[in-house]
Structure 1
Amino acid sequence: MQRMGMVIGIEPQMIAEYKRLHAAVWPEVLALISRANIRNYTIFLREPENLLFGTWEYHGTDFEADMAKIAADPKNQEWWSFTIPCQKPLDSRKEGEWWAMMEEVFHHD
């Protein structure tokens, strides 16, 4: 199991919409996340900086392949058509990233 984290900005005028969407995530999207070996997935919002922080546990063996399956799924692409306009990627993210991946520097069970 690998713990992972990521961060992205959120457009201030889209915060209410983003919360509304995530209050009722589509069952197909939730099932897809589970099939991609992701568990304990949480997204936090930090205002007034308007940052979203996502964290999860990855229980698979090929993260890139699992993420490619998520990206290729038509229902997920439809979901993203609603969520992506809410998000504001960080200028400092690596090439190819939408959400900027983070390094774990501490964990305590």
Structure 2
Amino acid sequence: MKRVCFQLRIKPALIAEYTRRHTAVWPGMLAALKESGWHNYSLFLRADGLLIGYFETEDLTAAQAAMNATEVNARWQAEMAGFFEDLDLPPDAEFLQLTEVFNLEDQLDGLEAREQTGETP
């Protein structure tokens, strides 16, 4: 499973409304995300509008394509577009993907494998 972390920026004047809209996301949107392969999806919002998203998927390109094929996503993206700063494309197409540099479970798995083979760090 691939871990994906991304960043966007919410317009500061719209943070309260953006947050309100995410307290009860449309059921059809929730179903589409799940069916399209978006798992363990979370959004984190800083007081100045920095938005960090995280999800897990088998294939990012396929998950994005599957969402882009849904009518509910087109409606959701159209409604959300005005909340973001500096975007020329819909938010789900223009997020800045961050590079993962550490994961505890991966490190522990690697350590365990090295210990089993007698390698020392």
Quickly name the TM-score band, shorter chain normalised. Answer: 0.7 to 0.9
Match of 1:93 in 2: none
TM-score of the pair, normalised by structure 1: 0.83
**2:70 matched to 1:73?**
yes
Task: Structure 2: give runs of 5+ residues left out of the alignment.
Answer: 88-92, 106-121
**2:12 matched to 1:9?**
no
Higher-strand-fraction structure: 1
Report runs of 4+ in structure 1 exceeding 2 Å deviation: none
- For 1:101 and 1:89, the matched residues in 2 are separated by 15
Higher Cα radius of gyration: 2
**2:99 matched to 1:63?**
no
Task: Structure 1: give runs of 5+ residues left out of the alignment.
Answer: 91-96
Q: CA RMSD in A?
A: 1.5
Identity over aligned pairs, percent: 35
Q: Once the two structures are superposed, what CA deviation does each residue of 1:3-22 show, in whole Å capped at 9, x if it has no partner?
A: 11000011011111111110
Contact 1:89 1:99 in 2 (8 A): no
Match of 1:51 in 2: 50
TM-score of the pair, normalised by structure 2: 0.76
- For 2:73 and 2:98, the matched residues in 1 are separated by 23
Higher-helix-fraction structure: 2
Match of 1:94 in 2: none
Match of 1:103 in 2: 99
